[in-house]
Chains A and B, each alone.
Chain A
Amino acid sequence: MKPDRRAAAVRRQQFDDLYARYAREVWAMAYARWMDADSAQDITQEAFLRLWKQMEEGEAIQNPRAWLLRVARNLAEDYAKSAFRRFGTQPPEQMNSVQSGGSQPLEQMAREEVFAQIRGLLDELPTADREILTLRYALECDTPAIADALGIAVSAVHMRLSRARQRLEERLTAAGIAAPSTNQ
C-alpha cells in the first residue's frame, strides 16, 4: 500500500473510532437543545463531517470529544435558522414513535401520549437542564462522565442534576404523570 493511501486509511480508522466513542454524546447534546431525534441525528452527522474535514486538512485537534461537543452545541444553535427546522414536517407526537417494543396498540398509544407530555415539559426547562438530564437518562452517564462532557465540576453536576430533576418532577406531578413525592 502506498504511503498516501495508507495515511488515508489510518485517518479513516481514527475517524471511525471517534465516531464509535462520541457519536452518542454528540447526539445527546443536540437532542437536549431541540428535543428532536431526527434533528439531533442531522447535527451529529454534520459535526462529524466537520471533524473529518479538519482531519483531512491536517488540523490537529487536541481534545476531539470537547471539540465535537462544542461544534454540536453551536450547530444546534444555528439549526434554528435552517429551513428544515422552520418548516418541520412532523409534529412532536409523531417524533415519539421511534420504537414500538412490541407493545399492544392501546398501551403503545398511551405510552406515546405520556412521552409527548414529557417532551412538552422538558421543552419548558432550560437547555442546561435538558443537557444534563439527557446525558443522565439517555446515555446513563455517571456523574464524572457528565462533568467531563459538560466541562464542569462533579459537585456542580450533582447540584444541577438535582435541580433539573426537581423542576421536572414538579411538572410531571402537576401533569398527573408522577405522584407527589412523599419527601416534599
Chain B
Amino acid sequence: MTLSLSPRFAMTPNHPPDDVDRWLTDFFQAQLPNPSPPAPMTAVAEPARPRRATVDHGRLTLAASVAALLGLGVYLSYGPTADPAPAPGSGMLQNSSANGKELHKHMPPPAPKLP
C-alpha cells in the first residue's frame, strides 16, 4: 500500500509529525461513538398475571357473546309462549271494578220467550 501525506498537512502546527501519541489519540477518539449510544432496548419481562387476565377477559367476552346469540336464536325460533299482558289503556274494562255479578245487574232483561 502506497501511503503519502501531503506536506501541507504534515506541517500543521497542531500535529507535529513526530507526535505518534497525539495522532493515535486523535484517531481513536474520533472513532468513539459520541455521544455513547443508549443501552439496547431490552423487553422487561412483565409478570404473567396481567397477560392471563387479558386472555381471560377476552374469553369471557366471547362466551357472553355466544350465549347471547344462542339465547336470541332460541327466542326467535319458538316465539313468545304466552299472550302478552294488555298494555295499559288498551282494555275495555279499564278502571272498571265490575265483576261478573254486577255486570249481570246492568244487563237488559232477557227477551220474553215467544210462544
Contact indicator B45/A177 (Cβ below 8 Å): no
Question: How far is the CB of B12 from the nearest CB of chain A, in Å?
Answer: 7
Are A37 and B33 closer than 8 Å at their CB atoms?
Answer: yes
Least CB distance from A137 to B in Å reads 4
29 A-B Cβ contacts within 8 A? A2-B47, A4-B47, A12-B42, A37-B32, A45-B37, A48-B39, A52-B40, A98-B30, A99-B34, A107-B9, A107-B12, A110-B9, A110-B12, A111-B26, A115-B30, A120-B1, A120-B3, A133-B28, A137-B21, A137-B24, A137-B28, A138-B31, A165-B20, A172-B20, A175-B5, A176-B10, A178-B19, A179-B16, A181-B18
Interface residues of B in 27-68 (CB under 8 A from A): 27-34, 36-37, 39-40, 42, 44-47
Residues of A within 8 A of B (CB): 2, 4-5, 8-9, 11-12, 15-16, 19-20, 23-24, 27, 31, 37, 41, 45, 48-49, 52, 56, 96, 98-99, 107, 110-111, 113-115, 117-121, 133-134, 137-138, 140, 165, 168-169, 172, 174-182
- What 7 additional pairs, Cβ within 8 angstroms, besides A98-B31, A137-B27? A37-B33, A96-B30, A107-B9, A137-B29, A138-B28, A178-B17, A178-B18
Q: Tell whether, in the assembled complex, residue A175 and residue B4 are in contact, meaning their CB atoms are under 8 Å apart.
A: yes
Compute how far the CA of A165 lies from the CA of B1 in the bound complex, rounded to whole angstroms.
20
Asked if B8 is at the interface of the complex by the 8 Å CB criterion, the answer is yes
B39→A23 contact, CB < 8 A: yes
A110 touching B8, Cβ below 8 Å: yes
Main secondary structure of the interface of B (DSSP, over half): loop
Of the four ranges (under 10, 10 to 19, 20 to 34, 35 or more), the interface on chain B belongs to 35 or more
Tell whether B99 is near chain A: CB-to-CB under 8 Å. no
From B18, B24, B29, B36, A179 is in contact (CB under 8 Å) with B18
Q: Kindly list the 3 A-B residue pairs having the minimum CB-CB distance in the complex, ordered from nearest.
A: A138-B28, A175-B3, A110-B9
| Residue of B10, B28, B32, B45 with highest tally of chain A CB at under 10 A | B28
Q: From A12, which residue of chain B is reached at the shortest CB distance?
A: B44
- Inter-chain CA distance A140–B32, complex, in Å, is 12
Residue in A99, A133, A134 whose beta carbon sits within 8 Å of that of B30 in the complex? A99
Question: B25 contacts the other chain (Cβ, under 8 Å)?
Answer: yes
